[in-house]
Amino acid sequence: MKIAVVGSINMDLVSHVHHLPKAGETIASHDFMLIPGGKGANQAVAAARLGAHVSMIGMVGEDENGTIMLAGMTEAQVHVEGIKREGTTGMAFINVSDDGENNIVLVPGANAQVSIEHIDENLSIIEQSDVVLLQLEIPLHVVEYVVKKAAALGKLVILNPAPARALSQELLQHVHTLTPNETELAILSGLPVTTPEEAGEAARKLLASGPRRIIVTLGEKGALLVTEEKTVHVPACRVEPVDTTAAGDSFTAAFAVGMAKGMSDVEAAGFASKVAAIVVTRRGAQPSLPTLAEVEAHSF
């Protein structure tokens, strides 16, 4: 069970605030933390903690943050041979409110320097993997290149389309599983997504662009798994959220692990829902990610 994660690596600068600031508003935080993050790194660490053999392809800076990021991933047993060091490590400025909501501003840093040449230098990692997992925090033309390469090699390609942006049919036709949230699905489909019913309609429209399945994460409403053959609502586990950072990342990673283990897509989505439920009860991105033993021991 080998997973290759191609994507971003960031240091998260997290401010805990009573409420998210409105436009033009200045507020004070009541807590501040530096926490390893980035969608790619989050998903790599999440999958590794769930028992997968994970290799990461990406870039960090030649700075202290880069050293910290590499040490954290290595400790989580992520293979980091595909990570190059250059420039400044990417950062994410995250505000987390007391009710668990967040907003995020990204500073791409070294993530913006991930190139096709870097992918080609590490193509053996993709060739030796069963699943290739990507996001959209590295240059889009690199994502397109990896998706096409991985699909041509017969790999299961899972794309978490975040941060949200429009994607071409040329890219989407090579994606086996797409895991947008409601906002991302609305942008990709051009349809409103405010209810599970609208999510189903938008996902079915998007299927025509090529993905074999779409899993829409709906927060406290769970997730919706949509294929040409079925539409299945996966309920959320009932928990009291503390911090929703990395909930989507953990869901996507856990789904990838489930599929790599041979679960059906419905079983994998249910497993992913349990993992994400644990994550939102903990603070921070990577510190919140559970081990497989923790998931198996947890009762909802």
Token pair belonging to 178: 């797409």
Binding site per annotation, positions for ATP: 181, 217-222, 248-249
Fold of 2-18+30-297: UDP-N-acetylmuramoyl-L-alanine:D-glutamate ligase (3.40.1190)
| Active-site annotation holder among 98, 130, 249, 265 | 249
pLDDT tens, N- to C-terminus, the chain (300 residues)? 899 999 999 998 989 999 999 999 999 999 998 989 899 999 999 999 999 999 999 999 999 999 999 999 999 999 999 999 999 999 989 898 998 788 888 899 999 999 999 999 999 999 999 999 999 999 999 999 999 999 999 999 999 999 989 899 999 999 999 999 999 999 999 999 999 999 999 999 999 999 999 999 998 899 999 999 999 999 988 888 888 778 999 999 999 999 999 999 999 999 999 999 999 988 877 888 999 999 998 876
Binding site per annotation, positions for substrate: 10-12, 38-42, 137, 249
How far apart are the C-alpha atoms of 70 and 226, rounded to whole Å? 36
Cβ atoms of residues 75 and 101 within 8 Å: no
Query: Which pTM was predicted?
Result: 0.92
Q: How far is CA 78 from CA 57, 67, 154, 257, in A?
A: 10, 14, 23, 14
Compute and round to an integer the Cα radius of gyration of the chain.
18
Q: Give pLDDT, residue 27.
A: 96
Binding site per annotation, positions for K(+): 243, 245, 279, 282, 284, 288
CB atoms inside a 10 Å sphere around CB 71: 12
Report domain extents, the chain: 2-18+30-297
249 part of the active site: yes
Strand order across the beta sheet in which 223-226 lies: 78-85, 53-60, 2-6, 131-134, 156-159, 177-178, 213-217, 223-226, 231-234
Q: Give pLDDT, residue 240.
A: 84
Binding site per annotation, positions: 10-12, 38-42, 137, 181, 217-222, 243, 245, 248-249, 279, 282, 284, 288
Q: Give pLDDT, residue 285.
A: 77
How far apart are the C-alpha atoms of 296 and 269, rounded to whole Å? 15
How far apart are the C-alpha atoms of 195 and 56, rounded to whole Å? 35
Cβ atoms of residues 268 and 225 within 8 Å: no
